[in-house]
Chain A
């Protein structure tokens, strides 16, 4: 019989409903020797002033989505478009779409943002996260041509205005997460990026990079553990 490690789930350890992932009970993992903390620290200082800008930016994006919802505001839409449409296109190209399909899909994703602006809930996701999920769904519909099963929605409806403290908490957590990703050791960060922005399963990444599958899985696990540590 093969013994496999199972993660135990302990609700007491959970400090936040939305970021369970970052607070699951942790086995202390050996830190990777190759971590260059100095590089990480330098990078962190360098991005320090960027951070304030990022927080302001995120709040601005939220108010832009609200302006689209309330006033069909095309100027707000244009700014969101300028930032996100090229990135959505890049995401789709990285997932294997050719340029013209990616262009078309990116436009459709932005149209969806306009039409579903009333469903956006800033206490559950940042604008970037929301757009990412729309783009991911579009990718599955168009590129993979699969049906797309989605979890049953919880009963919390979009009609209630979200609590401002929840909105604030989520945006702060997003900022911490962003910082945590920035200071992740390069090897781990690259694998996370590949997991999201390539159309590859972990075993396909193994083939492409020549790294053993076990190494890839443990690096991704280490990366997530590190994100959890930073989020604590």
Chain B
């Protein structure tokens, strides 16, 4: 995707999440969220660079990290270098898409490749394959419709890829991330103008307030 005409992102990732990405301690689904958001957001890209710079300074100056290498290690490394460059995969040319490229990698293509499954009330989802500590999925909420009322056990982040939604925290447009923690209950409602597509990542299953959605939950892995 070409760099978007500057989009006006108002809801950003937190320092904590960016630092976790930089340190390499987040679950895969959260890394996917960071990579996707940073692809669109210059502010968070710069913030992430600053977190990396903190890691660099610590690596450079932190004494406890100074261990011993094996005696033959330098020779072994030079030998590896002299074995030559391993064949690297040629980067696949990507078609222009409304989706940032890290997300295209997980979908295996553009919006049209998403295998949506209905989960009730007009809402559709597609689960993306990530490691188990957290889950990632795409959600499509029809224009003007609401997601089922739900609360959270863990941390959930929802980023808008198309359209917009509104919840108790405000209005979320393209690129905005809504961050909900354990005790928040909210009802996102898609903007009337367009179906809303979001990337949602969570480190715990959602719990719905109504009984029916709760039964459905176990079937559809929301």
Contact = CB atoms under 8 A, between A and B. Distances in A.
Interface size class of A (residues with CB under 8 A): 35 or more
Interface in A159-200: 173-174, 177-178, 181, 192-193, 195-197, 199-200
Interface stretch (A29-37, A38-46, A107-115): A107-115
| Interface SS majority for chain A | helix
A131 B65 CA distance: 14
Given A139-B24, A152-B102, A220-B15, A192 B54 contact: yes
Contacts of A19: 46, 49-50, 53
Interface in A9-50: 9, 11, 14, 17-22, 24
Interface string A86-126: 11111101110000001100111011001100000000111
B3 interface: yes
Contacts of A8: 10
B169 A4 contact: yes
A94 B80 CA distance: 25
A104 B130 CA distance: 27
Contacts of B135: none
B140 to A, nearest CB: 21
Contacts of A55: none
A216 to B, nearest CB: 10
Contacts of B14: 7
B25 A200 contact: yes
A135 B59 contact: yes
B28 A90 contact: no
Interface string B1-24: 111000001111011101110111
Interface stretch (B31-39, B109-117, B211-219): B31-39
Interface of B is mostly: helix
B50 A150 contact: no
Interface stretch (B67-75, B119-127, B188-196): B67-75
B45 to A, nearest CB: 7
A221 B20 CA distance: 13
B151 to A, nearest CB: 10
B53 A126 contact: yes
A134 to B, nearest CB: 10
Nearest to A198: B25
Given A9-B10, A19-B50, A129-B56, A136 B24 contact: yes
B56 A220 contact: no
Contacts of A199: 25
Interface of A: 1-2, 4, 6-9, 11, 14, 17-22, 24, 54, 74, 78, 81, 84-91, 93-95, 102-103, 106-108, 110-111, 114-115, 124-126, 128-133, 135-137, 139-140, 144-152, 154-155, 173-174, 177-178, 181, 192-193, 195-197, 199-202, 217, 220-221, 224, 227
Given A87-B67, A129-B52, A196-B54, 13 more contacts: A20-B42, A81-B74, A86-B66, A87-B59, A95-B24, A152-B100, A155-B2, A177-B53, A193-B58, A195-B20, A199-B25, A221-B15, A224-B19
Interface of B: 1-3, 9-12, 14-16, 18-20, 22-28, 31-32, 34-36, 38-39, 42-43, 45-62, 64-70, 73-74, 76-78, 80-81, 85, 100-102, 105-106, 130-131, 168-170, 179, 181, 183-186
